[in-house]
């Protein structure tokens, strides 16, 4: 593709004014100047990616050697979506007019793509305060991303707090259960101690009331069963104590 023969001003950007809501300001026309510094007649066309939002006059024509033409680009009173800010572009397409050809439309139809010369310009939208809407759109997008990140972080903190509270409630419930079991075991231990005391008192009474051989006979009649129970009392108390300690330790280690 050959280099663009025309000199185009502005060179890179076409600036348009919009209000704070993103609406094109009415009557705000931007101009583009095309200069033909060569000795050949040049045909040109102006194309855009958003043809319904701009009025271009003239949008095509002929530039004689060493002459220039001014193109007026007037935006329509429509809203500029910030998501489309990078999609609005203009392209100047030109070709050297063949000798002897007078029908311009026919020339454009017959020209081969490798003879066309293209030049692209991007659109920049400015608010009344001089803010670049393109940059403002980027800032808004960044702010939106930041807001989403903060929301996710807050949600994560809330979830962590809820989990911590749930664990605390579970620990408190386990401790209450352990305390209740300890109370029941202590009551059982107290009952066993009371029975042990009664057995000791009964044994003492029997020894006092019995004498000599009769005492031995009574011991044979009542002694084995009662003596066995008396002998087991210390072991039972020890087992109950160990069970209480085991329950308390197990609850705290869970």
Q: What pLDDT is stored for residue 41 in this prediction?
A: 94
Q: What is the pLDDT of residues 37-47, one digit of tens each?
A: 999 999 999 99
Confidence tier at 145 by pLDDT (50, 70, 90) = very low
pLDDT band at residue 80 under the 50/70/90 scheme: confident
Beta-bridge partner residues of 112 = none
When comparing pLDDT for 236 and 81, which is higher?
A: 81
Which tokens is 85 given? 């800010």
What confidence category does residue 146 fall into, taking pLDDT thresholds of 50, 70 and 90?
very low
The pLDDT score that the predictor gives to residue 134 is 59
- Rounded to the nearest angstrom, the gap between the alpha carbon of residue 121 and the centroid of all alpha carbons in its chain is 36
* First vs last C-alpha separation in the chain: 78
Residues 6+ apart with CB under 8 A from 30: 14, 15, 16, 72, 73, 74, 75
pLDDT recorded at residue 210? 76
212-253 and 133-209 are packed helices; what angle lies between their axes, rounded to 10 degrees? 180
Residue 218: pLDDT over 90: no
Q: Are 7 and 32 in contact (CB under 8 A)?
A: no
Please state, for a pLDDT cut of 90, what percent of the chain lies above it. Answer: 31
Separation CA 203–CA 236 (nearest Å): 19
pLDDT, one tens digit per residue, over 196-213 is 788 888 888 888 887 655
Decide if pLDDT at 158 tops 90: no
Instruction: Name the least confident of 32-41, 56-65, 160-169, 205-214.
Output: 160-169
Please write down the HEC assignment for all residues of 82-103.
HHHCCCCEEEEEEEECCCCCCC
The Cα–Cα gap between 34 and 10 comes to 9
Mean pLDDT of 124-148: 59
């Amino acid at each position: 593709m050959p280099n663009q023969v025309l000199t185009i001003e502005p060179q890179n950007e076409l600036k348009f004014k919009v209000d704070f809501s993103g609406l094109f300001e009415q009557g705000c026309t931007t101009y583009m100047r095309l200069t033909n510094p060569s000795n050949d007649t040049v045909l040109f066309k102006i194309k855009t990616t958003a043809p319904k939002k701009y009025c271009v006059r003239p949008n095509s024509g002929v530039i004689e050697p060493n002459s220039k033409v001014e193109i007026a680009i007037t935006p329509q009173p429509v809203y500029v979506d910030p998501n489309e800010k990078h999609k609005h572009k203009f392209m100047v397409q030109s070709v050297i007019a063949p000798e002897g050809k007078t029908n311009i439309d026919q020339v454009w139809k017959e020209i081969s793509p490798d003879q066309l010369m293209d030049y692209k310009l991007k659109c920049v939208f400015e608010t009344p305060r001089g803010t670049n809407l393109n940059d403002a759109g980027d800032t808004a997008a960044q702010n939106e991303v930041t807001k989403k990140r903060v929301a996710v972080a807050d949600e994560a903190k809330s979830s962590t707090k809820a989990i911590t509270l749930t664990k605390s409630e579970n620990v408190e419930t386990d401790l209450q259960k352990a305390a209740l079991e300890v109370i029941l075991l202590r009551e059982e231990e107290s009952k066993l101690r009371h029975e042990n005391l009664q057995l000791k008192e009964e044994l003492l009474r029997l020894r006092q009331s019995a004498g000599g051989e009769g005492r031995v006979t009574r011991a044979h009649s009542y002694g084995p069963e009662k003596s066995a129970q008396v002998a087991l009392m210390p072991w039972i108390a020890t087992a109950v104590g160990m069970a209480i300690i085991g329950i308390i330790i197990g609850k705290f280690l869970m």
